[in-house]
Amino acid sequence: MADPRIAVVGMEELPALTAWRLRQAGYDAVALVDVRRLDFLRLAGEFDFCHAVFPTPYFKWVRPLRARGVGFVAHWIGTDLYHVKTQPLARLLFRTAAPRIAAHIADAPWLVEDLARWGIDAALVPTVSGRMDEAGPLPMPDKFAVMAYVPDDRRNFYGWPTVRAVAEAYPDVQVHVVGGDGDGDAPTNVVFHGLTDEMDPIYRAASALIRPTVHDGLSQMVLEALIRGRQVVWSREFPECVYAATTDEFVRAVGALRADCPFNDAGALLAAEQYSPPAAVESLKNVYSRLLSESGK
C-alpha cells in the first residue's frame, strides 16, 4: 500500500483541513462531507482508512468498516472525549469500538494523558488551522480590547456567563465575540461578529483572547491568537497563556491586562516553532507511516 487512500470525516471544517494536511504529507486523502447515512458505508468502504476527526458519531461504523478491510483512525479534539466521559451511550460505543480501532490521535497533550488512563496509546498531532499558514505577528491595537468564541448553540460550554461578567466588570473594554450572534442580553460593550472567516480584522482589534471553556482540546483560536502576539487567558494550563479557572479569576486576569498588555513575544515564538503547519504534517505522516509499517504494506 504505497499510497493509501484515506477518507476523512468529522465535524465542521476539520475534515477538509485534515485531508489537506494529509495530502501535504503525501497521502491520497479526501474529505467526505454531507454524506447521507445510508451512503456512508459504501463510500468509506472504497478507502484504505477512515480518519474520523471527532470520532464519537462514527464508532458504530468501526466494525463494518473493518470487515471491509478499512482501518479506522480516531482523531480526538476535546469535546468528543468529554462526551465519552459524561455520556453513557458514547462511553459504551467507545468501549465496543476500541479494540478494532487502528490508531488514536489526540491534538493536545492532556488528551493523550486522558486516553492513556483508558488504556489507549494516542499519538500527539496538533490541529493547526489554515489561518496559521500565512499568519504572523500583528501590531497591538491602540486601545485595549478582548475577544472570545461563543457559539449560540453552546453558550454555557464556551463560558458565556464568564465573558459577560468580564464585559460588565469593564464597560470601557470592547469585547469581540465570534461564533454566534447572541440573544440580545449582552452588555453594550459586546460586539457579536457571528460565524465569520474574516478573523484578521478581529485579531487586529483585540489585545487578548479569553477562553473560559468547560473542556478543551488544543484550541486553534488560542494558537492563532498566540502567533499574532496576543495575550491569552484560558481555562487550560498552556505555555505562554494566563491560566484562570473561575469567573473571578478571568475578571482579575483581564483587569491586569487592561492595566498592562504587552505584545506576547514568547507566545508568538512558541506557536511559530512548535505548532506550525509543517509540524502538524510531519506528525500525521509519522502516524500513517507506523500504520503501514505495522501492516507490512
* Separation between Cα atoms, residue 281 and residue 20, nearest integer Å: 9
> What confidence score (pLDDT) does residue 296 get?
59
Contact 52, 75 (CB under 8 A): yes
Helix (H) / strand (E) containing 73: strand 71-76
How far is residue 187's CA from residue 297's CA, in Å, rounded to a whole number? 59
- 0.85 exceeded by pTM: no
Strands lying side by side in the sheet with 145-149: 190-194, 174-178, 145-149, 208-211, 231-234, 242-243
Amino acid of residue 137? P
Which residue type occupies 41? L
105 forms bridges with which residues in the sheet? 75, 123
Tell me how far the alpha carbon of residue 49 is from its chain's centroid: 22
Q: Give the integer Cα–Cα distance in Å for 259 and 265.
A: 18
Residue whose grid cell is 468529554:
82
- The pLDDT tens digits along the chain (297 residues) read 457 899 999 988 899 999 999 999 999 999 988 777 768 888 888 999 999 999 999 999 999 999 999 999 999 998 898 899 899 999 999 999 999 999 999 988 889 999 999 899 999 998 888 777 777 899 999 999 999 999 998 899 999 999 999 999 999 999 999 999 987 789 999 999 998 888 999 999 999 999 999 888 888 899 999 999 999 999 999 999 999 999 999 999 999 999 999 999 999 999 988 888 888 899 999 999 999 888 755
Angle, helix 14-24 to helix 277-295, in steps of 10 degrees: 70
Supply the pLDDT for residue 201. 94
- Which grid coordinates are listed for 243? 491560566
Q: What is the dihedral of CA 228, 229, 233, 236, to 10 degrees?
A: 70
Q: Are 50 and 27 in contact (CB under 8 A)?
A: no
pLDDT for the residue numbered 159 = 95
| Whole-number Å distance between alpha carbons of 143 and 74 | 43
